[in-house]
Amino acid sequence: MYNLYKLKNGLRVVTEYIEHVNSISVGLFVENGSRNEVVINSGISHFIEHMFFKGTKNRTAKQIAEDIENVGGQINAYTSKESTCYYIKTLNTHVDLCIEVLSDMLFNSNFNEEDIDKEKGVVIEEINMNGDSPEDVLADIHAKAAFGEDSLSYPILGFIDTVKSFNRAMILDYLKKHYTPNNCVLSICGKFDSKQLEDLVEKYFGNWCVGNEIRTEYTAPILKDNFLFTEKNIEQLHINLGLKGVQLGDEKGYSLILLNNILGGGASSILFQKIREELGLCYSVYSYMLSYKNIGLLNIYVGLSPVYGEKVVEVIKDELDKFIKTGISDDMLSKNKEKIKANYILGLESTSSRMFSNGKSVLFLNRINKPEDIILKIDDINYESISYIFEQCFKPGIVNGAFVGKNVEHKNISLLAQKEVIAYNNIDNNI
């Protein structure tokens, strides 16, 4: 049973009651991430996420963790391009503790200069760790290739130089502008008493009032046609090739999900069967969607020996051409509808996954996407919407890309991709 309502201060609350469970998951979603930043404060959203765990007027950093973990619960957070989420999962008998701890972190965090200085070192180490991962480096430079100077290209972790510049005044000013009740959603899923829950939400979040009533708004960036390369002393070549995708909330996105599943969504997919099973060129190959407000991407990833780099790009382009020309049969359409329905339903078998789904849906789309509604939308996928996706996303071909590795023939890849490959070195993560 779902309930969606708004407090007087503008905070949206979405709850889902599940009778047969004994857990509760609570998440506070903020429509704020690296996309909301500018170059000089890149990474501040992620840094603030860290700082909320460093102690409040009522708890030390250790006590925040202990109060949840001592009752067998879990507490964590994440920052993405467009949102930040703080979440707790416990037995449903501790719902009051979950809501109180989240409110304490939100309203009473200390942001001591000493803690800020310490956490700079932690985040810089996280940036360095990210630089040691070729997949993470690839994701960052592909964002740069696809979105250019738009803030969607900024790394979530920020840059070492910007992280070093953060101070208490910057953090408090950023919080005042972006952490507002009308810009947030409280998502709760599990077994609870509805009246008690409403009273708890009002008690701990009802007095949250700020002057800034501006909701987050995004521009519509133009997808760039860049191809970037970063030299890294590793054995494999890592490749991301970008096609046009669909924006978040686009109803035709379900058709792209289905086509993506056929192209590179699993071991039976076109790319996996051709590149790994038939040709033996790699261990890992898949495709995946990235959907944001006003823009989207469909990415093809492959990691393999540099000697096969040119060959695999040729094969991917050939398979894309075949896919566009042959389309899909009735049998493929039917089977893949069942696949994505199963993947969706299986992904909602915990209170935390349902809490995340509800929270993000209300945060970005201001509505609840009920499972039965999603299933109907999947069932409604037809050849008209499939043709639209082929025309809009696949027929333009590979639009942009990124490469990480060593001993790569730039000119040859350039000819294959029909674009200029630009050397792009951001390994040190300085501006």
Which residues are part of the catalytic machinery?
49
Which residues contact residue 3 at a Cβ distance below 8 angstroms, ignoring those fewer than 6 apart? 13, 14, 15, 16, 17, 194
In three-state secondary structure terms, 229 is strand
Q: Which amino acid does the sequence have at 250?
A: D
For residue 296, report the phi and psi dihedrals to the nearest 5 degrees.
-155, 165
Angle at 182 between CA 207 and CA 104, to 5 degrees: 45
- Cα 288 to chain centroid distance, Å, stands at 12
How far from 132 is each of 157, 186, 207, CA to CA, in Å?
14, 35, 44
Alpha helices in 265-308 (DSSP H): 270-271
CB-based contact 21:351 (threshold 8 Å): yes
Q: Which amino acid does the sequence have at 134?
A: P
How far from 383 is each of 323, 326, 391, CA to CA, in Å?
14, 13, 12
Place of tokens 């027929």: 395
How far from 357 is each of 3, 54, 367, CA to CA, in Å?
14, 27, 11
According to DSSP, residue 73 is labeled -
Q: Of 326, 334, 320, nearest to 399 (Cα)?
A: 320
User: What are the structure tokens assigned to 86, written together?
Assistant: 């703080």
CB-based contact 424:231 (threshold 8 Å): no
